[in-house]
Structure 1
Amino acid sequence: MLVSPGTCTSVEAGENIECGFLVVPENRQKTDSRSIKLPVMRLRSRAAKPAKDPLLFMPGGPGVSAVARLRSGKKNPLLDERDFIAMEPRGGKMAQPALECPDINALKGDIAAGRLRGAKAQDALTKAAGRCRATLTAAGVDLDGYTTTATADDLEDLRKALGYETWNLQGLSYSTRLMLTVLRRHPAGVRSVILDSVLPPEVNFDEVGAVNLLRSLDLVFDGCAIDRECSAAHPDLRKRFAQLIATAERKPLPLVLKESVTEGRLVEVRGAQVVEALYTALHDPDAIPFLPRIISRAAAGDYSELTPWVERSQGASTMSWGLRLSVWCSEEIPFEDPKRIAAQRSPAMGLGGVDEGTASVETCRVWNVAPVPAEENTPVKSDVPTLIFAGEFDPDTPPDWGRQLLESMPQARYVEMRGYSHGASFNRCGGEVTLAFLRDPKGPLPLDCVLKLRGADFGRSATAP
């Protein structure tokens, strides 16, 4: 293992950024495994005397690149005090090799557009996974090497290679699971951890994907119902939502979408497309207060406010699906109940049969990677100071998943951001709390801004746009 220097070819001029590669075994369980290269970027602090322990950040996924869009640190307040590090996960878009599955990316676009639905969609994804697996293995890729534990070990190797006694870790969404795995395997090198939108290893995500979305929608329905102005303008919102989905299921809604979105191809806006549009809006704190109006007007045949959100939910996937499947098919599907997974796609859920899961049992059977040890599906116990963020309306990783970490992590503190969603800490208030925590992981947190959060003001849905 080593870090070899490289050239920062895509960063903005004048940036103090160092680039290189971490070279590690592809399969850490095999002594004769070939080496792979993981891009690393270190953004140097603006401080005259930076803190000795940097922050390493990893994004969600699995399958999201950590470095592909990292161009500048000018707007990163963390650099006022310490270095910031990012490493491409093994199998990510910028890694060598990259576990890309372009057929799956394209199919996800067809599913988003309603051109491919139900059992036909699942069958197409499974066949595409088989083709991708054949292509990658023919190129020499060992798909069993791409696991969360392997990436956790990569991070530990990187810490040592860069010469840090300890560092701070920050993970978003799936990468909270990655950071928890680092705590399980390499706690001595970790000064503190920040977890935003927690995906604990012990939860069975695909068994509750639709339930998590329904929880967020129920917050909207109930929030409108108890707001005098919203409930007067949009009575029986839950019923109107059900009517909207039923109407779309009987006949695609007559939305007129931009040519730049459709690319000349048909988009059938059925129930699943409506739900995906609302799911997209649930990720935007500025849009959440207006969801009652969007739903109510669409149910009455006015699609003017729904249309932009349908447009935003279109397009092919950008994930590195080979990496995504290797992680999910070894770490999640082996511990999940196939019947409960299938039930989440049922029309009986009232969501137009939308699939919020990551991979099907059939797809994982074709991907054919070895399951991880059962320990990787159990809670992590740790005394490392940890800051947990959760967003009230998060449709992916509900706040309760963050709260439950408090049972096995006595040095953890939980902060729920009212009115916010997935990625709850990425705002001014969350940034203030994060900076204070990094200065003193066991010290008091400046929570005044959190306590002042009003949450979603659904009364705003009673006004005209």
Structure 2
Amino acid sequence: MSSRSFVLVTGLFLGFTAHASAPEAVPRFEPTPCPSTVASDEAIDCGLLVVPENRQKADSRLIKLPAMRLRSRAQKPAPDPMLFMPGGPGVSAVSNVRSGKRNPLLDERDFLVLEPRGGKLAQPALECPGINSLKGEIAAGRLRGQKAQEALTKEAGRCRAKWVSEGVDLDGYTTAATADDIDALRQVLGYKTLNLQGLSYGTRLMLTVARRHPGTVRSIILDSVLPPEVNFDEVSATNFQRVLNVVFDGCALDRECGAAHPELRKRFAQLVAAADRKPLPLVLNPSKTEGKPVVVRGAEVVRAIDAALHDPRRIPLVPRIISRAAAGDYSELTPLVEDSLGPSTMTWGLRLSVWCSEELPFEDAQRIASQRAPALGLGGVDQGTASVETCRAWNVARAPAEENTPVTSDVPTLVFAGEFDPDTPPDWGRQLLESMPHALYVEMRGQSHGASFNRCGGEVTLAFLRAPEAPLPLDCVTKLRGADFGQSAAPASP
């Protein structure tokens, strides 16, 4: 951390004295150096939010959550900042925040991020390195099927025992608890209201804030919506199939793509089936494999295509990638397989605490198992988050039934969805219109998960924040052409 950053953080203490509580009070904010080196010429404040680990228990110990405030560049900033939370659960909110120079929101208001309780930089950070490693083994095809499920379950039990032995109350790590942390941060920083922005699982978190603290939310921006009421693991592979079908149909309708890659759906099925019969002979970069063997079966092919479907630049090329691989040319498939390798970066203790409390208890075990069935033609790939057995080993309290019901809110809400999102389909965002009368739905053609993180999405977001109740300027949205599958008819670059 630079000396300039230290001056800014020192100033943070002086700036918050009007709102700070006594040192022993909870919640409270403790100014600290930033968790990573931040830009020396920007006003970035850092500190720790101190809150109870479990608010349902009077004698609960305290935990500390890193928070960052990037101060607005405006001479007179809007009084209500934006608070952003990423996906997951299990993704760090603060670890990669180092500068706000390219953040247009700072031209008008402050921008806040808060590490979720149990996250990578929180105290405690509920890491399960054994699970991260096992996920790497699964990604490389060295561990699969029932053996993979058993290994993950065993490692979950081992990780749980470690944290419990250290005094951690795993029942305290829920979406509702993090939603209350967000409101606690608002209080200690002295803001009356917040604008909330969430991506993927972060949308569920922001909806929970609106449910629990409705009077403190000015507006909500949701991208790639995961509503509380959906049962993700019951349709995890089905969501992927939906996007594959959009690609197959889009290619067939494009004259050039359809001519170059006829019967694409059949070719994909043949590719996955061939890989399951005999692993594909890909020549992988040793630096990507760490010198270990990689077994590319059907599941690994599916994961590679899934990676391509998350990248709007690659989506138009998916027909060519599939068609060439089905013909024995793996030159475009290989880098996608390589990009899918390596251990998981999720904080799995947090991920399991949330998922096993408020998702798995409301899901049907048979429907979850059906998503891994070879009959789907996806190589038995597991797109789900955690199995019933793993959650049984993690053993946290079941969330109240309300956590699996739609959020009803009058707060102005902007909902973004990506046409090719393989994780959270557009229908999940569209269904919010039924319980949120002031919600506006915007589907971005050609985009995937994280549909608004581009120039057009930024323009719409800024306009919405200035006047949440006004009509949206959607010129750039209507001009989006979508995926040009004709690109797949062109030869691949050498």
- Report the TM-score, using the length of structure 2 for normalisation: 0.94
Aligned to 2:29: 3
Whole-Å separation in 2 of the counterparts to 1:441 and 1:111: 45
Whole-Å separation in 1 of the counterparts to 2:224 and 2:38: 28
Q: What per-residue deviation string (whole Å, max 9, x for no partner) do you get for residues 241-281 of structure 1?
A: 00000110011100011111100001001100000000000
Show the 5 A alignment for 1:266-305. Answer: 266-305=293-332
Q: CA deviation at 1:191?
A: 0.2
Kindly provide the amino acid, as one letter, of the partner of residue 309 in structure 1.
L
Show the 5 A alignment for 1:108-257. Answer: 108-257=135-284
Whole-Å separation in 1 of the counterparts to 2:96 and 2:253: 42
Classify the secondary structure of the residue corresponding to 1:191. Answer: strand
Q: CA deviation at 1:96?
A: 0.1
Q: For structure 2, which runs of at least 5 residues remain unmatched after alignment?
A: 1-26
Whole-Å separation in 2 of the counterparts to 1:248 and 1:118: 15
Report how many aligned residue pairs link the two structures.
465
Classify the secondary structure of the residue corresponding to 2:47. Answer: strand
2:434 is equivalent to residue 421 of structure 1: no
Whole-Å separation in 1 of the counterparts to 2:210 and 2:376: 37
In the alignment, which of 412, 415, 420 is matched to residue 385 of structure 1?
Answer: 412
Whole-Å separation in 2 of the counterparts to 1:281 and 1:460: 14
In the alignment, which of 370, 394, 397 is matched to residue 424 of structure 2?
Answer: 397
Q: CA deviation at 1:397?
A: 0.2
Q: What per-residue deviation string (whole Å, max 9, x for no partner) do you get for residues 276-329 of structure 1?
A: 000000000000000000000000000001111111111100000000000000
Show the 5 A alignment for 1:328-343. Answer: 328-343=355-370
Q: CA deviation at 1:13?
A: 2.0
Q: CA deviation at 1:67?
A: 0.3
2:88 is equivalent to residue 61 of structure 1: yes
Whole-Å separation in 1 of the counterparts to 2:370 and 2:37: 45
Q: What per-residue deviation string (whole Å, max 9, x for no partner) do you get for residues 320-372 of structure 1?
A: 00000000000000000000000100101110000000000000000000000
Percent identity between the aligned chains? Answer: 77
Classify the secondary structure of the residue corresponding to 2:164. Answer: helix
Q: CA deviation at 1:15?
A: 2.1
Whole-Å separation in 2 of the counterparts to 1:202 and 1:435: 29
Whole-Å separation in 2 of the counterparts to 1:259 and 1:350: 30
Kindly provide the amino acid, as one letter, of the partner of residue 51 in structure 2.
V
Whole-Å separation in 2 of the counterparts to 1:271 and 1:97: 38
Classify the secondary structure of the residue corresponding to 1:443. Answer: coil
In the alignment, which of 335, 339, 361 is matched to residue 312 of structure 1?
Answer: 339
Aligned to 1:347: 374
Classify the secondary structure of the residue corresponding to 2:322. Answer: helix
Whole-Å separation in 2 of the counterparts to 1:350 and 1:331: 30
Whole-Å separation in 1 of the counterparts to 2:340 and 2:359: 25
Whole-Å separation in 2 of the counterparts to 1:202 and 1:194: 19
2:476 is equivalent to residue 449 of structure 1: yes
Kindly provide the amino acid, as one letter, of the partner of residue 206 in structure 1.
D
Q: CA deviation at 1:122?
A: 0.3
Q: What per-residue deviation string (whole Å, max 9, x for no partner) do you get for residues 113-139 of structure 1?
A: 000000000000000000100111111
Whole-Å separation in 1 of the counterparts to 2:438 and 2:159: 43
Q: For structure 1, which runs of at least 5 residues remain unmatched after alignment?
A: none
Whole-Å separation in 2 of the counterparts to 1:173 and 1:10: 27
Whole-Å separation in 2 of the counterparts to 1:274 and 1:338: 26
Aligned to 1:430: 457
Kindly provide the amino acid, as one letter, of the partner of residue 48 in structure 1.
Q
Aligned to 1:51: 78
The CA RMSD over aligned residues, in Å, is 0.6
Classify the secondary structure of the residue corresponding to 1:40. Answer: strand
Aligned to 1:356: 383
In the alignment, which of 1, 19, 44 is matched to residue 46 of structure 2?
Answer: 19
Classify the secondary structure of the residue corresponding to 1:21. Answer: strand
Classify the secondary structure of the residue corresponding to 2:101. Answer: coil
Whole-Å separation in 2 of the counterparts to 1:44 and 1:220: 42
- Report the TM-score, using the length of structure 1 for normalisation: 0.99
Kindly provide the amino acid, as one letter, of the partner of residue 7 in structure 1.
P
Q: CA deviation at 1:46?
A: 0.8
Aligned to 1:92: 119
Kindly provide the amino acid, as one letter, of the partner of residue 315 in structure 1.
G
